[in-house]
Structure 1
């Protein structure tokens, strides 16, 4: 059986990688130092870890290719927020950085054809009661 060729579109993984690359370059142009990309912390992964002055920044990147599911920043569920906070907490402990200030940013990228919109939400969320591990 012969399969018909199909148009190649970017997979979700490829879109995510491209979005993370764009986000990292954006942050660097704003003076942030990228410390890590796709950092595995236990079973979790943090898209970008950066430093802005003395503040450690944990960045979640969300990339959309159209308006189908709403704005990308709305995809951060309470469960995802909790996992990011716990991953950050573990990272800080493992690196002896418990006393370092940190924040959680979201970079939302929307692609529509050749148009790209990037929104940087500083302090996009804060840990809530129950987010931190004991």
Structure 2
């Protein structure tokens, strides 16, 4: 595992050195190209280069903005899904609590389902907590 990390880091370092070398070579070529140009040509070339660099920068910023927005949307969707599952869990627990109480009442007092239903409606209307038999 350690060797794999070391190899990966070595490859990344080699890639960084290679990219740096390529950038330096491009810069040297550009300097040679500019030396061979006349002043109006050179100014036009530099202006076009600046425009292209600005376009690339704007493109990268737009892509980062879209990725950030997509990430926020995914996080919001995950949060909503978690809230939904939490509410479903609460409902299931409440149903389970009601079933436990119903079974207890049915066994102990021979109470029917319609009575239990109206009993729980009354508790809900009064805003009381549902008693649970554990």
Fold match, TM over 0.5? no
Larger radius of gyration: 2
TM-score, structure 1 as length reference: 0.26
TM-score, structure 2 as length reference: 0.26
The higher-RCO structure (CA 8 Å, 6+ apart) is 1
Q: More strand by proportion, 1 or 2?
A: 1
